[in-house]
Amino acid sequence: SDSKFPGEVTTIFSVMSKLSQQHQAINLGQGFPDFDCDPTLIERVTAAMQAGINQYPPMPGLPTLRNAIAEKIHKAYDSAYDAESEITVTAGATQALLTAILTFVHAGDEVIIIEPAYDSYLPSIRLAGGIAKPVQMELDGNRYFIPWDKVKQSITPRTRMLILNSPHNPTGTVLTTEDIQALKDCVRDSRILILSDEVYEHIIFDGQIHASMASDPELKTRSLIVSSFGKTFHVTGWKVGYIAAPKLLSAEFRKVHQYNVFTVNSPMQAALAEHLSHSRQHWELPAFYQEKRDYFRHKLQQTRFELLPCHGTYFQSVRYRDISDLPEREFAEWMTKKAGVACIPMSAFYQQPTDSGVVRFCFAKRQSTLEQALQRLQTL
């Protein structure tokens, strides 16, 4: 056919959410909270609308929001970004990622991705005419890690970009200081840009410090950092995020962004600016989600699932081989229909067919939802 996107299918998140709904299952598949955001945030949206903030904001975003983002980055990572020229508000992280890839990846350029990889990277690279070069994370016992020697081996003169994600969806791994050192050795003296998906920057556990590309002066100069208020303030449906990058990179990004969405809805931006400046919610997020993680993991230990580590994000991956021999996708469908709990198969995050007998649960749920789901999982 003349499809520009042959073979592309509906994303696994839509598929599993639909199946979950059809079978009235508890949806621990697609990642989103089942609890509401801070009511103050809603009041701030209403206040913004009533104050007449309802027309186009400036193309790169409301200055108040860009200033608040710059302040937050400075506080979190001791790193200065100029709000005027280095921060752009986007329609969620997804649009930031796609626009960044369309901006910098020329036809035939190679982009290294680390698998398992969030499902929008590959199609975005394809739309840009780029060639994805996947490097698979490896397992040391139960611990996923990036084999940096293999990353280094896959670099060629055509490599334009390396996409990283920490804290990592779906494995819950976080970049360590050793990873950062290896990364620097890989990209030094190259023209490689780092597209750093840091949407879970504030969901990191056990007192670990998020290794943002912003906090390393050497990496910062070649990095485009993406984040999302959906994850940070429990509003995934608002689809507001941002990209932070050095001036020249931001200027190029904006050339494409202005014809992609032009700008992002103004009342939400105004509300988020207020909230980011005056609430402490994002600083309290590690403790908030760690409590959920600890409860979920503790109870899962009383099931036949085998837990993989979770150092960040609101995802917990598990092995299910003691329960079933089904391939991942079939197992996920079977569990949704038979046990009434939806999950995401790990294979959805790979380009080539894989099967490691692993599925992912989302624990961004009310205590009562987790309790109910765990009761069902205990019967397996």
The one of ligand PMP, ligand GLN, none whose footprint includes residue 11, by CB under 5 to 8 A per kind, is: ligand GLN
Contacts of 47 (CB under 8 A, 6+ apart): 271
Question: Binding of ligand GLN at residue 79 (CB under 6 A)?
Answer: no
* Residue selected from 11, 154, 277, 290 as contacting ligand GLN according to rule CB under 6 A: 11
- How many other C-beta atoms can be found within 10 angstroms of the C-beta atom of residue 289? 23
What is the smallest separation between the CB atom of 325 and ligand PMP, expressed in angstroms?
29
* Residue selected from 31, 267, 345, 357 as contacting ligand PMP according to rule CB under 6 A: 31
The one of ligand PMP, ligand GLN, none whose footprint includes residue 92, by CB under 5 to 8 A per kind, is: ligand PMP
Decide: 360 and 343 in contact? Cβ < 8 Å.
yes
What are 307's strand-pairing partners? Answer: 318
- How many other C-beta atoms can be found within 10 angstroms of the C-beta atom of residue 315? 24
Question: Binding of ligand GLN at residue 167 (CB under 6 A)?
Answer: no
What are 144's strand-pairing partners? Answer: 139
Window 154 to 213, contacts with ligand PMP (CB under 6 A): 165, 169, 197, 199
Per-residue DSSP letters for 118-138? -TTHHHHHHHTT-EEEEEE-E
Residue range at the interface with ligand PMP (CB under 6 A); choices 1-9, 236-244, 323-331, 364-372 = 236-244
Question: Binding of ligand PMP at residue 228 (CB under 6 A)?
Answer: yes
* Residue selected from 15, 20, 31, 359 as contacting ligand GLN according to rule CB under 6 A: 31
Kindly tell me which of 239 and 275 has the beta carbon lying closer to ligand GLN: 239
Question: Binding of ligand GLN at residue 228 (CB under 6 A)?
Answer: no
CA distances (Å), 20 to each of 119, 147, 336, 344, in order? 19, 35, 6, 11
Kindly tell me which of 30 and 159 has the beta carbon lying closer to ligand PMP: 30
Measured distance CA(314)–CA(33) in Å, rounded: 9
- Tokens 């626009």 map to which residue? 99
- How many other C-beta atoms can be found within 10 angstroms of the C-beta atom of residue 58? 13
* 282, containing H or E segment: helix 281-300
The one of ligand GLN, ligand PMP, none whose footprint includes residue 93, by CB under 5 to 8 A per kind, is: ligand PMP
- Regarding beta strands 315-319 and 306-307, do their DSSP bridges make them parallel or antiparallel, or are they unpaired? antiparallel
Using CB positions, name the residue nearest to ligand PMP. Answer: 92
Decide: 90 and 257 in contact? Cβ < 8 Å.
yes
Question: Binding of ligand GLN at residue 30 (CB under 6 A)?
Answer: yes
CA distances (Å), 244 to each of 48, 93, 122, 196, 260, in order? 25, 11, 22, 10, 17
The one of ligand PMP, ligand GLN, none whose footprint includes residue 167, by CB under 5 to 8 A per kind, is: none
Window 93 to 132, contacts with ligand PMP (CB under 6 A): 93-94, 118
Binding string, residues 127-166; x marks residues near ligand GLN by CB under 6 A: ----------------------------------------
3-state DSSP assignment of residue 98: helix
Per-residue DSSP letters for 33-61? -SSPPPHHHHHHHHHHHHTT--SPPPTT-
Question: Binding of ligand GLN at residue 169 (CB under 6 A)?
Answer: yes
Position 335: which residue type? Answer: M
The one of ligand GLN, ligand PMP, none whose footprint includes residue 165, by CB under 5 to 8 A per kind, is: ligand PMP
What is the smallest separation between the CB atom of 236 and ligand PMP, expressed in angstroms?
5
Question: Binding of ligand GLN at residue 123 (CB under 6 A)?
Answer: no
Which letter, b or e, does each residue of 120-155 get, where b requires 16 or more Cβ atoms within 10 Å of its Cβ?
A: bbbebbbebebbbbbbbbeeeeeebebebeebeeeb
Question: Binding of ligand GLN at residue 13 (CB under 6 A)?
Answer: yes
What is the smallest separation between the CB atom of 231 and ligand GLN, expressed in angstroms?
8
Question: Binding of ligand GLN at residue 260 (CB under 6 A)?
Answer: no
Kindly tell me which of 28 and 112 has the beta carbon lying closer to ligand GLN: 28
What is the smallest separation between the CB atom of 358 and ligand GLN, expressed in angstroms?
15
Q: Give the strands of the sheet with 344-345, arranged side by side.
A: 306-307, 315-319, 358-362, 344-345
Contact residues for ligand PMP (CB under 6 A)?
31, 92-94, 118, 165, 169, 197, 199, 228, 230, 236, 239, 241
Contact residues for ligand GLN (CB under 6 A)?
11, 13, 30-31, 169
